[in-house]
Amino acid sequence: METKIVSMTEEQPDREALRLAGEILQKGGLVAFPTETVYGLGGDALNPESSKKIYAAKGRPSDNPLIVHIANMEALKKIVKEIPREAYLLADAFWPGPMTMVLPKSDAVPYETTGGLETVAVRMPVHKTALELIECSGGYIAAPSANTSGKPSPTLAKYVIEDLAGKIDMIIDGGFVGIGLESTIIDLTTTPPQILRPGYITEEMLQKVLGKVEWDQAIIDADSKQAPRAPGMKYRHYAPKGELTIVAGPEADVIAYINRHVEEDEQKGEKTGVIATSESAAGYRAQVVRVVGSISNEEEIARNLYGVLREFDEDGVTRIYSEGFWKEGLGEAIMNRLLKAAGHKVVWVGNNK
């Protein structure tokens, strides 16, 4: 299949291309598009055939449900059986924006879209191109991140092209996404509501609106045998090709440990890489040292993380070490993704042993 690639910005939309993209979606085709979090791979959420095509293009297991993207509150009423008061409160506070709510689904939403569940995940993005595309397509776009299943989510169109060119009808290149990590998912079908995936909208922000919120136990306890309540969270994710280890502890000990191991790895013929901060980068002796951002700027780290992981693949790095970035707020989302990318491999050094 030939994939049409078009470019536009939020400020300068290409209305003709958006109209064409909307038509493709209405006919059951697939279009990748920018959002404020990561690029999405869109299909008509109310068309079971479109959802099947999304799973096939991504190589994604079909028990992993899709998020339905809408552009207004009217649309929510059609796809949700009953809208609880909390949903209106959250929508008021964080929509349009990087927050997804899990709610009981209506009959309009096919099981192909929800992975067989009676609930549906819904998000209203704030990215103008995404919103216009939703309007042009009839109002309901099912969109997982636009990557091959298992790889880091795309923060640039070139990564979408890498994974999906030839497999989908169109890619809208809107440049770099703003946030760089997927939306926060909050499940409103439980009491109290549960965070199923941390993101830019933090626990504290949700608490201000909802009062009590809990974490899905499977996120708090990585070794938990309990299945995560967001089915997608159980799969290995965001993984670079090289083996990734997180090294945690006081900075000097972390640097010493990583440099020692880098040397040993290189003697064995491995190509080594380090994920560092702008403050620590000069201390590392690996073949490839990539700065993910400043230790004091989590937004920068969030924005760069997936790109850095993908670049190690481009460099053919086989052994990667990363510092840990444990912090409240956005730090929760960063570490959640980094831990998954590392398959939860963490080494503690120094006093923190």
In 3D space, the residue among 88, 103, 185 whose CA is nearest the CA of residue 144 turns out to be 185
3-class DSSP assignment, residue 346: strand
First to last CA, the chain: 53
113 binds ligand TXA (CB under 6 A): no
Structure tokens belonging to residue 161: 């092209």
Q: How far apart are CA 220 and CA 216, in angstroms?
A: 7
Tell me how many residues contact ligand TXA (CB under 6 A).
Answer: 29
50 binds ligand TXA (CB under 6 A): no
Question: With respect to ligand TXA, which residue has the nearer C-beta, 29 or 198?
Answer: 198
Q: Which of 28, 138, 231, 350 binds ligand TXA (CB under 6 A)?
A: 231
Shortest Cβ 149–Mg ion spacing (Å):
8
Residues between 123 and 162 with contacts to Mg ion, criterion CB under 5 A:
145
Q: Which of 47, 50, 51, 114 binds ligand TXA (CB under 6 A)?
A: 114
Quick one: CA torsion of 16, 18, 20, 25, rounded to 10 degrees?
Answer: -170
121 binds ligand TXA (CB under 6 A): yes
143 binds ligand TXA (CB under 6 A): yes
In 3D space, the residue among 350, 342, 348, 343 whose CA is nearest the CA of residue 248 turns out to be 348
Question: With respect to ligand TXA, which residue has the nearer C-beta, 35 or 322?
Answer: 35
What is the distance, to the nearest Å, from the Cα of residue 11 to the centroid of all Cα atoms in its chain? 24
184 binds Mg ion (CB under 5 A): no
Quick one: CA torsion of 7, 13, 19, 24, rounded to 10 degrees?
Answer: 30
Residues between 75 and 104 with contacts to ligand TXA, criterion CB under 6 A:
100, 102
202 binds Mg ion (CB under 5 A): no
Question: With respect to ligand TXA, which residue has the nearer C-beta, 126 or 255?
Answer: 126
64 binds ligand TXA (CB under 6 A): yes
183 binds Mg ion (CB under 5 A): no
Shortest Cβ 195–ligand TXA spacing (Å):
11
Q: How far apart are CA 317 and CA 39, in angstroms?
A: 25
Give CA separation, 109 vs 31, 172, 183, in Å. Answer: 19, 25, 21
Q: Which of 34, 40, 242, 324 binds ligand TXA (CB under 6 A)?
A: 40
320 binds ligand TXA (CB under 6 A): no
